[in-house]
Amino acid sequence: MLYPALGILEFNSIAQGIISADAALKKSMIEVLISRTICPGKYLVVINGDIDQVKESVKESETIGGYYNIDSIVIPNLDPQVPPALSAATEINNFSSLGILETYSAPSSILSADAAVKAADVELIEIRIANGIGGKSFYTLTGEESQVRAALDAGADAIKDTGLLMNMKVIPSPHQDLYRHLI
């Protein structure tokens, strides 16, 4: 069951991440969607629930996480494309232009992806968070080239003040064989 808000926290200590996930659960009525290690030796916690409950739990986790908290965000009114993209369960039937946006943290990538799909008529393919890619995260999306560019611009704008944007690219006409390696 999805709620109107998502909270995402990334820690550079596995132990502190686990303790912070426990604190989030004890603070308010939320559900933990993800609580696991990510590369390189970091810990990711993703929670959902009512916006006020998520905000309270994220604040508590930030307090408990202290110095070990790398990045944390709350996304109200999460776009419905985001959850399936987090678990690589997106079904894309019409591939067009390809957009890729890469970040230095999982929370910034999820926030950026949410902003991107809310801003333009695109389909989110996947949000890959920090496993096997040196702690970076990225997402891919498809649509008409102008829409893909608008989506990536909105995604970049959503995280511009964080300093966590690594790169973004558009491939106007990707080779169709490329897509089977992306999904």
pTM: 0.90
Token pair recorded at residue 101: 């946006």
Q: Which amino acid is at 122?
A: V
Architecture of domain 82-182: 2-Layer Sandwich (3.30)
DSSP annotation of 67: G
Report the pLDDT value the prediction gives residue 88, as an integer from 0 to 100.
77
Report the pLDDT value the prediction gives residue 83, as an integer from 0 to 100.
86
Annotated domain spans of the chain? 5-76, 82-182
Report the pLDDT value the prediction gives residue 3, as an integer from 0 to 100.
62
Report the pLDDT value the prediction gives residue 22, as an integer from 0 to 100.
95
Phi, psi of 90 (to 5 degrees): -80, 135
- Counting every residue written for the chain, the total comes to 183
Report the pLDDT value the prediction gives residue 40, as an integer from 0 to 100.
87
Report the pLDDT value the prediction gives residue 134, as an integer from 0 to 100.
80
Which residues lie closer than 8 Å to 22 by C-beta, 6 or more apart? none
Q: Which amino acid is at 146?
A: S
Burial class, 14, CB count within 10 angstroms (exposed 0-12 / middle 13-18 / buried 19+): middle
Report the pLDDT value the prediction gives residue 94, as an integer from 0 to 100.
76
Give me the sign of the Cα torsion angle 112, 88, 56, 16: negative
Question: Mean pLDDT in each 10-residue stretch from start to end of the chain (183 residues)?
Answer: 83 96 93 90 93 96 94 93 84 86 94 97 92 86 96 97 94 86 71
Token pair recorded at residue 111: 């926030």
Phi, psi of 18 (to 5 degrees): -65, -45
CATH of 5-76, one of 3.30.70.1710, 3.40.50.300, 3.40.50.720, 2.70.98.60: 3.30.70.1710
Report the pLDDT value the prediction gives residue 35, as an integer from 0 to 100.
93
